[in-house]
Amino acid sequence: MFANRVAIITASTDGIGLAIARKLGQQGAKVIISSRKPKNVERATKILLDEGIQVKSTVCHVSDSTSRKKLFEAAEEFGGLDILVSNAAVNPYFGGILNCDIKIFDKIFDVNVRSSFLLAQEALPLLRKSKNGRIIFISSISAYYQHKLLGPYGMSKTALLALTKSAAKQLAADGITVNCICPGLIDTRFSEVLTSDEEKNKEELSRIPMGRAGTPEEVAASVSFIASDDAEYLTGENILVAGGFSSKL
């Protein structure tokens, strides 16, 4: 499906990011993975190489311009860029939104929003050379449902919905599609703060019509479709992968 296509996936050594890299790689893409921690990059690279996937990797903090540049240099070594998946996110704060320290608030928006904007902007010279240009942002159900403990994080993920709409309109004439996946509660290390004990887990699952958490592989399958030729007329959409959770703002 993705033979000879090149994909960058940020924050891709674990959880949803690694599942996306694996899925695209299994379907023939050459993937560039990254993480802030060298040991995680080394481990994930070995995993994918052992599975026969063509992969390059780099240590990358998406807030750092030099780190981001390394991603695109790796893509050029593979021959260009067709797919950008902006997955990196942080959430160092849990509590009421108006109690959040401004330095923490700024950090959340720096990684979750500003870096996604810059990655998309910096990817354009390569994506415009592709016949199959795709930008895919990974947002969250928190963009729609403002959890009482995740206020700043939810705000940042809501901003990605608007970024998707605006960028899609601008790039439509270039044949580059821009879409956004909003995962619900997914069984990853990132979500453990919401499911760390039986009572919390029960409360979170009660909001999901399907009654279970999703898997990283289910998110990856949706990304694969959006990146494929079957979705070439799909752009500007924010798509929930959330087990039936309400998608109304």
109 exposure class (CB count in 10 Å sphere: 0-12, 13-18, 19+): middle
Joined together, the tokens standing for residue 212 give 């279970």
Question: 30-35 and 6-9: which strand pairing?
Answer: parallel
DSSP letter at 112? I
DSSP letter at 188? S
Of 93, 145, 153, 233, the active-site residue reads: 153
Can you tell me the distance from the alpha carbon of 164 to that of 82, in angstroms, rounded to the nearest whole number?
17
Is residue 93 annotated as part of the catalytic site, yes or no? Answer: no
The 3-class secondary structure across 217-243, one letter per residue, is HHHHHHHHHHHCHHHCCCCCCEEEECC
The 3-class secondary structure across 144-165, one letter per residue, is CCCCCCEHHHHHHHHHHHHHHH
CB atoms within 10 A of CB 98: 7
Active site residues: 153
